[in-house]
Structure 1
Amino acid sequence: MSPDTLKNLNIAVIGAGYAGATAALALGRLGAKVTIYEQAQEVKEVGAGIGLRPSTMDQFRKLGIFDAINAVTSPSDYFEILLAHGQRIAMEEWPEKEAFGATTHFVHRGDFIDTLLRVLPEGILKMNHRLASIIDNGDSATLTFENGVTVNADLVVGADGIRSQVRKHLFSDKAPVFAGEHAYRAVIPAADTFGMVDDGNLRMYVGRGTKIYLLPLLHRKEVSFDITCLATDSTPAPACDRDTLIGMLESFDERLVAITKGLDMRQVNLRAVYDIDPIPSWHSNAVVLIGDAAHAMLHHQGQGANSAVLDAGALADALAEAASVPAALAQFQADRKPVTDELQRLSRQGWSEDEINSVFPNQHQGEIGARS
């Protein structure tokens, strides 16, 4: 689309999470008029860490915010996968490093979203705007919010997460899918982790039905500690039970058990784990889904936030290159959906024994079930 056409484009982004904030920044750099509508009164993230892959860091470089993101992250060279008792299954460098001229960086979720929101242009973010309805007019869309505000937009970007109202109203009313797992997450002092990740690299311990992730945040002198275990209670925010949690760790390294016993359970965030089934289409001629609204996935591949950022960049690229908004949205889906469909599939496998043996076929086949 021509620069003049882009400058006359009025874009409404629904949701101020990773996808929405990055999309607003990328689309604003095209010259479009962009406004983000966020339902909450303030944007908060749970205490946990995530990995930003080289392709994601490269996207931030293209957006001119690499230094801002880099300042709140720690670099990592590799990741390890180990059996519950500590025997190494695999140790690999992060992929994409050479291709994108950056390595994986670890960041606290709160620091990440705070940085993204801080670099947005002043006045672009409207808080306390919960979407009540959306009408697709064909070449535009009309939004009505619970506070009584009505907005007409040439393009609506649904970045409103796994329980997306944009998706529910226009594309799919299927509910999120419970994974049969609970995730316990806490950020703890690095001094409490017995030096297990002092080198700055991710370690994942795998037992029968339980996975423990230690993700170091060296710049904060902290570690993000995540235990994901089998569960039957699909309540989104179940009760946090120390005894049940410790009972899941019977065969694990005694240091991991000691870390768990020392947790302040009031600081532990417990959530039932959900994703969504792939949906046939993410877009109409004037509305498009990105991030978790389009393809919420389980956390086992660590690709949710990365996919959201890459969606934002791909959407901006498509609008810059296509002849019209409908053509851009079609191209965006064609570029991104095959990738995220596969990531959704892989993430559902959750580093099972079969998945580990397929990725690392010559290393300790069969030992996960036998020793954990």
Structure 2
Amino acid sequence: MSRQMQIAILGGGICGQALAYALSTKGMSVRVFEQAASSQEIGAGIGLGANACLALERLGLLDSVVSKSDEGRLTLRSFEFVTGDTHELIYDYPTSETDFGLGMHRAALLDAITSILPPGVLTFNKRCISIVRDQDNIILGFADGTNYAADVLLGCDGIKSATREFLLSGSAKPVNTNYVAYRGLVPSQRLLDHGLLTADLSRPRMYCGQDKHLITFPVKGGSMTNIVAFAKRANVVPLERAVSSARNNWVETVELSTVQRDYEGWGTKVQAILQSIENPTKWTLHALDPPLSSFVSGRIALVGDAAHAMLPHLGAGAGQGLEDALLLTQLLTRPDVFVENVEFVLRAYDAIRVPRANAVLEGSARAGDIYEGRGPSGPTVNGIRQDLEGIWDPVWHGYDLEEAYQRAANMFLESIRSSPHDRT
């Protein structure tokens, strides 16, 4: 009889904890190692589309997440696009009954998972400094001098992934995309006091302009408004050489005047939105470019941003990580999966998830071009409108989670049948 498989997860963020919860509730032996001293997510809003909500449901997490969300229920995800200067309507994204989603704080999403994680699964203050593979185990070495031996390592450790550094010997580092994002979370009443209307704040809205776009969407039941203002830097640093050497400076507090200079000449509503932000933060946006051709090596797999960190222009990064977590859970908890054949499982995961996640990664970059008038139909209102049509459909509805699992399962079974080392 094969012994129980020991699964280690590096990274206790949203994807790491979601994966750990789903695996542990199905009887798997799993440990999560997080380098921070406690569960923490940047206090920004996050939007989860229909695909992400379906993945949460199948991971067994949706009820807990919905209970911690701003509305306490799933809502339709509609979006309105207007010009940044005159605020002319460009496009009102059509919705259907399947376009449900959630808007919430990142911290609340993480807490929804942490609060129901079984005791003993998650350990803090565990910074991984070495990963060693031998014939039988993957040995994780931590800064506190301890080690942990696992059969499978799942790297959920984000864009700055130590797991990816080990797998690829540092050859695939996140690069500066030449985008910055200014973020603020403000009371909606303050925006009303600055002259905006209730209709301006009741649903997600994007203000579009040349090389910039600004998003507002309601959180906390509409009492707060999340603001993200993007600005594209025109080849400030050649992309291939734009690897940040000061990673701790990816996020910094800036003066409001810095943000306002970037949006000089934009319309009155944009100026009022910016004026409402106290202590704005500037995020230098990074991504994996070019995308990875594989997320797996042996019994080690990358998950979420560690595998496919992307620009946020489709709001799809978290959803892709949850899709990763779901497929891994479905495969690893099969009764015919053992230590001896688990590499076949990870190869199947790789074959399914690489094309899907990388397509969304590339689509996210294209979406930014469209919002800012660099799409194939040009910068006019009609051109942007044409390019916006159906832009979220491939993310929300273009991927069948169950069909993806069936394809992966068939790949796994075929690998077993053709393997000379098949278990008996």
Q: TM-score when scaled to structure 1?
A: 0.88
Shift of residue 198, structure 1, vs aligned partner: 4.1
- Equivalent residue, structure 1, for 2:382: 364
Aligned residue in 2 for 1:82: 82
* SS of equivalent residue, structure 1 residue 306: helix
> Distance between the aligned counterparts of 1:158 and 1:244, measured in 2?
37
Sequence identity (%): 27
C-alpha RMSD over aligned residues: 2.6
2:254, 2:184 → 1: CA distance?
Answer: 12
Against the structure 1 CA distance between its residues 348 and 139, is the aligned structure 2 distance closer, same or farther, given a 3 Å change threshold?
A: farther
- Name the residue aligned to 1:275: 287
Letter in 1 for 2:275: K
Q: Which residue of 1 aligns with 2:307?
A: 294
The structure-2 alpha-carbon separation of the partners of 1:158 and 1:359, relative to structure 1 and needing over 3 Å to count, comes to farther
1:214 — aligned with what? 216
Q: Structure 2, unaligned stretches of length 5 or more?
A: 238-243, 387-424
Q: Which amino acid aligns with 2:257?
A: D
- Superposition deviation, residue 79 in structure 1: 1.1
SS of structure 2 residue aligned to 1:46: coil
Q: TM-score, normalised on structure 2?
A: 0.78
The residue type paired with residue 55 of structure 2 is: Q
Match of 1:260 in 2: 274
> What displacement does 1:325 show?
1.0
1:366 CA displacement: 6.7
Does the CA-based 8 Å contact 2:214-2:227 persist in structure 1?
yes
Equivalent-residue separation in structure 2 for 1:94 and 1:148 (angstroms): 53
Residue type of the partner of 1:269? T
1:197 Cα deviation after fit: 4.6
Which residue in the other structure is 1:136 paired with?
Answer: 133
- 1:223-277 deviation line (CA, Å, top 9, x unaligned): 1111111344865234513222102222433122112123212xx2321110012
Q: How does 1:138-217 map to 2 (within 5 A)?
A: 138-173=135-170, 174-193=172-191, 194=196, 195-199=198-202, 201-217=203-219
Shift of 1:363: 6.0
**What is the match of residue 413 of structure 2?**
none
Identify the range of structure 1 (347-356 vs 9-18) with the bigger mean alpha-carbon deviation: 347-356
Provide Cα deviations, 1:313-360, integer angstroms capped at 9, x if missing partner: 011112234643111101111111101111111222342248785599
Which deviates further from its counterpart, 11-20 or 349-358? 349-358
- Amino acid of the residue matched to residue 90 of structure 1? Y
Q: What is the match of residue 347 of structure 1? A: 364
Q: Is 1:38 aligned with 2:48?
A: no
Q: Secondary structure at the match of 1:26?
A: helix
Decide whether the 8 Å contact of 2:185 with 2:277 is kept in 1. Answer: no
Larger displacement relative to structure 2 (45-54 or 66-75): 66-75
The answer for unaligned runs of 5 or more in structure 1 is none
Q: Please, which of 56, 59, 66 is the counterpart of residue 63 of structure 1?
A: 59
SS of the counterpart of 2:320? Answer: helix
Letter matched to residue 273 of structure 1: L
Match of 2:319 in 1: 306
**How many Å separate the matches in 2 of 1:105 and 1:197?**
19
1:326 and 2:343 aligned: yes
